[in-house]
Structure 1
Amino acid sequence: MTAGETQALLETIAEMLANGLETTTEPFPETDKEFADILADLRRLDPDDLEGKLVISGFVDHPYGPDRQRCMECMYYLVHRRWCDLPELAVPVEPDWWCRLWRI
């Protein structure tokens, strides 16, 4: 994916979230099994189903929860690319966004 394509996809995601896309932020997966179940749901999607990915993973465009978690602190976040490197997602993200697949 070129830098221009990445930026366009990032803008599309930002617009979807800003326009009120309702995503599944709860329940947050507390166990490895719950985490794996969400990943399995993502794997069943068409790889190009961006909205489905955002909904299932619970994306929001702001820090989330009592600890104000953000993509920036997630182990899957690639800082210099502004990218989520979780294979089931593999999308550009802003540092202050969050999803329920957040891990430290």
Structure 2
Amino acid sequence: MASDPEDILKTIAAMLEAGLETEVEPFPETDKEFADILIKLRQLDPNDLKGKLVIGGFVDHPYGPEQQRCMECMYYLVHRKWCDLPELAVPVEPEWWCRLWRI
């Protein structure tokens, strides 16, 4: 995996734009369901970008009836355009979303 966040962001954007199928459902409704997804992510090689995107359920647009997006997620670092959830730790665009979204 490239080490420059801008290059990684471009790679992610290209993968999502190309139609990468990710696990957007089921959305974790409980702490246990959320933790189960984190366990799957921890089992990946930290450089497995595709695996992170698939298990995390990333999409390159707002999602759900409330049109949730990374911008409003507690893990989003605005000035870095970065998901700070340790199991993901990837650059993201503010309009994207993943199923580990939290307020």
Task: Please give the alpha-carbon distance, in whole angstroms, between the structure 2 residues aligned to 1:78 and 1:44.
Answer: 24
Task: Please give the alpha-carbon distance, in whole angstroms, between the structure 2 residues aligned to 1:80 and 1:56.
Answer: 25
Percent identity over paired residues: 78
Asked if 1:85 is matched to 2:84, the reply is yes
Task: Please give the alpha-carbon distance, in whole angstroms, between the structure 2 residues aligned to 1:83 and 1:47.
Answer: 16
Q: Which 4+ runs in 1 deviate beyond 4 A?
A: none
SS at match of 1:81: coil
> Unaligned regions of 5+ residues in structure 1, if any?
none
Asked if 1:8 is matched to 2:14, the reply is no
> Unaligned regions of 5+ residues in structure 2, if any?
none
TM-score (normalizing by structure 2): 0.97
SS at match of 1:72: helix
Task: Please give the alpha-carbon distance, in whole angstroms, between the structure 2 residues aligned to 1:76 and 1:49.
Answer: 20
**Number of aligned pairs?**
101
Report the equivalent of 1:41. 40
Deviations 1:59-86 (A, max 9, x none): 0000000000000000000000000000
